[in-house]
Structure 1
């Protein structure tokens, strides 16, 4: 369910603030009944009218983007930097990123106009796995990686246990590559976790989100999710797998 003013705004009828004014003025009907309260929520099956004209709902769309480094996880940037929606062409719907990836982090990012779907995938209680590959300065020991598996204390609390796999190390260059899977979504969490055990991250890429991967995509490329993939993600989130 979504707030009525948000549905009106997404349909392109008015801004959200103007939509709120229309509701208060009694110019909005839901299933034939005038609504004046701002807290009302509606489903896709509800009929919404503004000034006695039925609004057309946006079709729900779902995209997977291989976000390059140096791109903002937003739909606009006041500094003129590239944003993730710059890579999705010919889409009339107002899409936005599901969660975020840091400016200097690359990898899998979902974009949609489905607010319920976005909330389902990002809410901490649903525990959807996200897998990252990190290039580190230094080579951590097995015991140091176990600290991440048990959870490490950050300034905003202890992290949940992570799944960690050591991929490779180069002692001459003092570099290593480690794969880590978490289900939380705190700000710069993976980088802070590695810093907490003494190994700053040089490069970071998110390779998987639930059952989805970057297979077949290059940086900057995008594809639409299949109905099966959307259904599978919903099921995974709802079962906490």
Structure 2
């Protein structure tokens, strides 16, 4: 790998800024100052910038417990981006695999591996997505059957794919767990609106085989384990 590319992939430097750092003599390779941007690095080389050793940033796979009030976007918007919650280098290389609405909380997966995220989010894969839903009022009888058969949402020309509903044991009867395999616009809110109800709170618990780590508080994140990565 060229030295300037290595610098741009292991620091916040762009390629042009990396070349300027090289020209200023700020970079050492195995203890020697190297100014040649095209210098070819091998496994035997140790690179230091301003005296600090560098390691190339590999492909990252992250799990975030999204709080409300953050957008699943990499661009500035009305609300802050979930990317801003990550204390990592080169955040601009990351993208979100499976978005949530600004007021929805829970599991968000973030990576720079486009093929991995495509496998995770492709409609053809029909990946299960598990949500904890708080409703405005208890559901009427027969909701399970209606969801399993598919609902025709307003403005759509095809019914939703079969969904699984579990009523949870709580005093008010308004908490349910829903499993869907799609990601249409505001889909869950629209599904319950079609059942004459309203979503008060929505929290994603799982995508496929990857479950939100219960040790993560809202706004916290961690790297995925290799076992979790390999499930996709």
Q: Same fold (TM over 0.5)?
A: yes
Provide the residue aligned with 2:224 in structure 1. 225
Post-superposition offset of 1:58: 5.6
Distance in 2 between the 1:142 and 1:192 partners? 18
Pairing of 1:101-140 with structure 2 (within 5 A): 101-140=100-139
Distance in 1 between the 2:64 and 2:87 partners? 12
Could you list the runs of 4 or more consecutive aligned residues of structure 1 that deviate by over 6 angstroms after TM superposition? 51-55
Q: Any conservation in 2 of the 1:71–1:104 contact (CA below 8 Å)? A: yes
Please give the TM-score of this superposition, normalised by the length of structure 2.
0.72
Pairing of 1:160-199 with structure 2 (within 5 A): 160-168=161-169, 170=171, 176-199=174-197
Distance in 1 between the 2:184 and 2:220 partners? 26
Distance in 1 between the 2:141 and 2:104 partners? 25
Provide the residue aligned with 2:89 in structure 1. 91
Q: Secondary structure at the match of 2:87?
A: coil
Q: Any conservation in 2 of the 1:64–1:111 contact (CA below 8 Å)? A: yes
Distance in 2 between the 1:103 and 1:54 partners? 45
Please give the TM-score of this superposition, normalised by the length of structure 1.
0.69
Post-superposition offset of 1:141: 2.6
Q: Say whether residues 1:205 and 2:206 are aligned partners.
A: no
Q: Secondary structure at the match of 2:168?
A: strand
Gap change, CA 1:88 and 1:144, over 3 Å in 2: same
**Aligned pairs, how many?**
184
Q: Secondary structure at the match of 2:63?
A: strand
Q: Secondary structure at the match of 1:191?
A: helix
Gap regions ≥5 residues in structure 2: 1-7, 17-36, 42-55
Q: Any conservation in 2 of the 1:168–1:176 contact (CA below 8 Å)? A: no
Q: Any conservation in 2 of the 1:139–1:169 contact (CA below 8 Å)? A: no
Q: Which has the higher strand share?
A: 1
Post-superposition offset of 1:145: 2.7
Gap regions ≥5 residues in structure 1: 1-9, 15-50, 235-241
Pairing of 1:25-40 with structure 2 (within 5 A): none
Q: Any conservation in 2 of the 1:87–1:221 contact (CA below 8 Å)? A: yes
Greater alpha carbon shift after TM alignment, 197-206 vs 137-146: 137-146
